[in-house]
Amino acid sequence: MKIIKKITSSSKDTMKSLSSELESLVYSNVKENYPGNWSREIVTRSFFSDLKKLFHGKNIHTPGNTVKSFWYLHHLKNDNDLSFGDIAIVLQISYHDGQVARGVAFFDVAEKDPGKHTFTSLNKNRLRKLNSLAPHSQVLLYDYDTITGMAFPSTADSIIGNYPHSWNNWISYTHAVSVPANLAIQLDNKSTGLYKVALPISYLLCYRYLFGLDLDFSSTALDTAAGIKTNRGNPKFLILVSVCHGGAEPLNTFDFDNRKYTEFE
């Protein structure tokens, strides 16, 4: 099934074409796991496994630049460990001019309740805890129904930066969106009403995080994500991503507690 309007591109492996492929991964992972394996842990694991296959080691062409990323996937060895968010994506970014940035994106994750319009697994205290350390933290929402009416006035073309010809020719939709945790706390909403302040997770991954945008950079946030600091707990999934722009050398060595985490593919 075609999930997102085909984004035409002059060459393969542009950010435009990969964002379309990513939306297909979102669709397949959500729809294939609902209802039999409708669990945020199962969907998250399968989604990031496919995400690694899509992006790992691939040269992505952007206007006037190339971006390459290397993905390493880990999860907590002991499920009884205190968790601090469901996902932490740690990015080490080497820019074309030699500068380097290390940041982290934290997520709490919720799947929509079967046959309802609610996310009862969302917990306001958990979000407050996450936001207290990581002001840019997000809530990732999975929905087996199509998600429309997002904060972006979005069609596929507007997501990649081109104003649409007509708002009537196509309405964008997805099955996984992200909402700023601080805004979710303010709205105090555990329903699909959060979609009005949501963005597609594909947009954040392709057009924000790989460029170092919307991350948290404090040493405490990075050490908590990596399992080095444990007093607050640690994320269930730790995604390590080395990103290099232009001809920069990738930073593939990460400082994290490999006794606490085990790798998966």
Predicted confidence at residue 11, as pLDDT, reads 57
Q: What residue spans of 36-120 are helical by DSSP H?
A: 40-55
Residue with tokens 């997520």: 107
Q: Residue 54: inside a domain, yes or no?
A: yes
Q: Residue 90: inside a domain, yes or no?
A: yes
Q: Residue 8: inside a domain, yes or no?
A: no
**Cα torsion through 87, 140, 111, 153, rounded to 10:** -160
Whether 145 contacts 117, CB under 8 Å = no
Walk along the chain (265 residues) and give the pLDDT tens digit of each residue: 344 433 343 457 888 888 889 999 999 999 999 999 999 999 999 999 999 999 999 999 988 899 999 999 999 999 777 899 999 999 999 999 999 999 999 999 999 999 999 999 999 999 999 999 999 999 999 999 999 888 865 444 444 444 444 434 445 789 999 999 999 999 999 999 999 999 999 999 999 999 999 999 999 999 999 999 999 999 999 999 999 999 899 999 999 999 999 999 9
Q: Residue 48: inside a domain, yes or no?
A: yes
How far apart (Å, rounded) are the C-alpha atoms in residues 126 and 184?
12
Q: 35 preceded by cis ω (within 30°)?
A: yes
Domain that holds residue 142: 15-264
How far apart (Å, rounded) are the C-alpha atoms in residues 25 and 30?
8
Side chain identity at residue 17, one-letter code:
S
Number of domains composing the chain: 1
Q: Residue 255: inside a domain, yes or no?
A: yes
CB-count exposure of residue 181 (10 Å: 0-12, 13-18, 19+): buried
Q: Residue 4: inside a domain, yes or no?
A: no
Which of 125, 127, 111 lies closest to 45 in space, CA to CA?
Answer: 111
Q: Residue 39: inside a domain, yes or no?
A: yes
Q: What is the CA radius of gyration of the chain?
A: 18
Q: Residue 6: inside a domain, yes or no?
A: no
pLDDT (tens digit, 9 = 90+) per residue, 160-187? 444 444 434 445 789 999 999 999 999 9
Predicted confidence at residue 153, as pLDDT, reads 52
Per-residue burial over 115-148, b if 16 or more Cβ lie within 10 Å, else e, is eeeebebbeeebbebbbebbebbbbbbbbbeebe
